[in-house]
């Protein structure tokens, strides 16, 4: 099945061409029918005139014979037939039981309807005989008797061939067909050019809209004329200008927000360092303090650690937002990098690692460490053992999978786990962590040009990281 064109230009061209074809066929048909009617009318008038003129010249006695007149003979009928004869014609004359045929056609070829109507006046009829079209003119011969004309019983039928008329109609039909084809071709070309001209502003609008989508917000179009397309172009320019202004304002606000977060994060590092130093002293003294005071010290130490983690994450996020995060690639043994990450954080006994010892990939070791630490830390905090880390090399990169065997993440939360400050479930609103770990992991993976995804398991949750080979 041939698919129908869906483009606006194609539909315009097809519609225009169909209208032109319909108009051409209608005009050609009307013209042909008018020409055909005129030719047939001329042939009939000529034939009737010839027959009437020849019949008026009859000199031999016919019909009601008067005293001293002999009835017409076969020779008289033959003379009348020869008088009515002409190039290509065939004549048949009948008088009572006498008949004469001059030509290949006889009385048997005369239609019964025409034969009956010929008793009253001169009539004509077209008929195809032996595969050829003829015009048959039949007439009763009348004899003038004073003021009235008397029927004589003599009838003449003249067969006029319509070969010339058919040839002319065939030529006309061929000419009309050729002219129609030329008109359709011209209409097709005109339709294509017209559609192209009409759709030129639409194509410009499409290109301008694409440019806006690509971030070129200063895109504008010239306005020509005062029609609907010109009005649409003007509206587009107004919308583009408003969009450019809004985006500029949003970018300014976003830049201010980024600077604010970065500045606040950096400013907090100094008091945080002092607080951490004091906390270390308090930690050493906690065992010698009363139980309530020791519990308060441990609570403060935990919150200081959360604050330190949050500030570090905010600083890291601000680097990504500012576009200053860079990659420092070097050959990294994946198994060793994962083991080092776990040992530094004291997780080696809680996590099972399955990675080839000889798997080496060009990575940024610091950022790879952040990715693994955030995924494993998330599994340890919110999942249940065993926590598994599997790494393997693929044809075009590195695949790392981290799975826990806990309750898993709710289905409605899977689409949001990488969002900033998102925590699955109301019960986790005050849980440990900043809510930025998975977002930072995703940013580091994307910086490598890779992908990260999450999928529910039975039981637990599976995170999959893919990093391409540089």
3-state SS class at 364: coil
Classify residue 24: in a domain, yes or no.
yes
Classify residue 436: in a domain, yes or no.
yes
Beta strands in 325-425 (DSSP E): 330-333, 351-354, 360-363, 387-394, 397-403
Output phi, psi for 137, to 5 deg.
-110, 120
Mean of the per-residue pLDDT values of the chain: 80
Do 269 and 163 share a structural domain? no
For residue 154, the surrounding DSSP H or E stretch is strand 148-161
Chain segment 359-416, per-residue pLDDT in tens: 899 999 988 998 998 899 888 888 888 899 999 988 888 999 999 988 888 888 888 8
Q: pLDDT at residue 68 above 70?
A: no
Q: Give the whole-number percent of the chain exceeding pLDDT 90.
A: 10
CA pair distance 257, 339, nearest whole angstrom: 38
- How many residues are recorded in the chain? 470
CA pair distance 469, 448, nearest whole angstrom: 9
Do 444 and 406 share a structural domain? yes
Do 272 and 301 share a structural domain? yes
For residue 338, the surrounding DSSP H or E stretch is helix 334-344
- Which one, of 158, 141, 132, lies nearest residue 50 by Cα? 158
CA pair distance 448, 364, nearest whole angstrom: 8
Q: Are 169 and 39 in contact (CB under 8 A)?
A: yes
Two tokens, residue 451: 């992908």
Classify residue 219: in a domain, yes or no.
no
Classify residue 222: in a domain, yes or no.
no
Classify residue 427: in a domain, yes or no.
yes
Number of domains in the chain: 3
Residue 264: pLDDT band (50, 70, 90) is low
Do 160 and 14 share a structural domain? yes
Containing structural domain, residue 262: 229-321
Residue 85 sits in a domain whose CATH number is 3.30.450
Residue 283 sits in a domain whose CATH number is 1.10.287.130
Classify residue 75: in a domain, yes or no.
yes
pTM over 0.85: no
Find the distance separating the first CA and the last CA of the chain, reported in whole Å: 46
Do 358 and 300 share a structural domain? no
Do 243 and 121 share a structural domain? no
Chain segment 416-454, per-residue pLDDT in tens: 888 877 776 544 444 455 677 888 888 889 888 899 999
Do 245 and 165 share a structural domain? no
Do 132 and 64 share a structural domain? yes
Classify residue 210: in a domain, yes or no.
no
Bridge partners of residue 76, in order along the sequence = none
Do 269 and 282 share a structural domain? yes
Two tokens, residue 25: 């066929």
Residue 401 sits in a domain whose CATH number is 3.30.565.10
Classify residue 129: in a domain, yes or no.
yes
Domain stops at, among 271, 289, 321: 321
What's residue 428's pLDDT?
A: 47
Q: Are 20 and 187 in contact (CB under 8 A)?
A: yes
Do 125 and 29 share a structural domain? yes
What's residue 139's pLDDT?
A: 86
- Which one, of 130, 119, 123, lies nearest residue 163 by Cα? 130
Domain stops at, among 286, 303, 321: 321
Q: pLDDT at residue 19 above 50?
A: yes
Do 343 and 303 share a structural domain? no
Do 57 and 164 share a structural domain? yes
């Amino acid at each position: 099945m041939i698919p129908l064109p869906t483009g606006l230009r194609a539909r315009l061209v097809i519609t225009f061409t169909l209208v032109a074809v319909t108009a051409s066929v209608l005009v050609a048909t009307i013209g042909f029918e008018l020409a055909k009617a005129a030719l047939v009318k001329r042939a009939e008038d000529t034939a009737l005139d010839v027959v009437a003129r020849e019949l008026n010249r009859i000199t031999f006695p016919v019909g009601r014979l008067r005293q001293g007149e002999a009835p017409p003979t076969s020779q008289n009928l033959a003379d009348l037939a020869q008088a009515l004869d002409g190039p290509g014609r065939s004549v048949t004359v009948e008088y009572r039981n006498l008949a004469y045929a001059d030509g290949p056609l006889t009385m048997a070829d005369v239609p019964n309807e025409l034969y009956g109507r010929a008793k009253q006046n001169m009539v004509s009829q077209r008929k195809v005989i032996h595969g050829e079209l003829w015009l048959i003119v039949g007439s009763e011969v009348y004899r003038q008797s004073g003021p009235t004309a008397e029927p004589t019983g003599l009838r003449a039928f003249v067969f006029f061939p319509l070969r010339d008329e058919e040839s002319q109609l065939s030529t006309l039909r061929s000419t009309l067909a050729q002219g129609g084809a030329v008109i359709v071709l011209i209409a097709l070309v005109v339709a294509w050019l017209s559609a192209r001209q009409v759709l030129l502003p639409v194509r410009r609008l499409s290109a301008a809209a694409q440019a806006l989508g690509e971030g070129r917000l200063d895109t504008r179009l010239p306005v020509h004329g005062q029609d609907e397309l010109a009005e649409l172009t003007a509206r587009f320019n107004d919308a583009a200008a408003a969009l450019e202004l809004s985006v500029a304002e949003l970018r300014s606000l976003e830049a201010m927000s980024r600077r604010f977060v970065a500045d606040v994060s950096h400013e907090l590092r100094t008091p945080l360092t002092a607080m951490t130093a004091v906390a270390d002293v308090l930690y050493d003294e906690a065992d010698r303090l009363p139980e309530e005071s020791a519990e308060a010290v441990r609570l403060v130490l935990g919150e200081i650690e959360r604050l330190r983690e949050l500030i570090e994450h905010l600083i890291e996020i601000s680097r990504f937002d500012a576009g200053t995060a860079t990659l420092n690639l070097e050959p990294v043994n994946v198994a060793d990098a994962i083991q080092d990450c776990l040992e530094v954080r004291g997780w080696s006994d809680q996590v099972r690692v399955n990675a080839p010892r000889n798997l080496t990939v060009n990575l940024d070791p610091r950022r790879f460490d952040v990715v693994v630490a955030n995924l494993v830390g998330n599994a340890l905090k919110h999942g249940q053992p065993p926590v598994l880390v599997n790494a393997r090399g693929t044809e075009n990169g590195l695949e790392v999978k981290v799975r826990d065997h806990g309750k898993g993440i709710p289905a409605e939360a899977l689409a949001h786990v990488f969002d900033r400050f998102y925590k699955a479930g109301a019960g986790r609103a005050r849980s440990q962590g900043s809510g930025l770990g998975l977002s930072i992991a995703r940013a580091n993976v994307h910086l490598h040009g890779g992908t990260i995804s999450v999928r529910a398991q039975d039981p637990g949750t599976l995170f999959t990281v893919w990093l391409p080979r540089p």
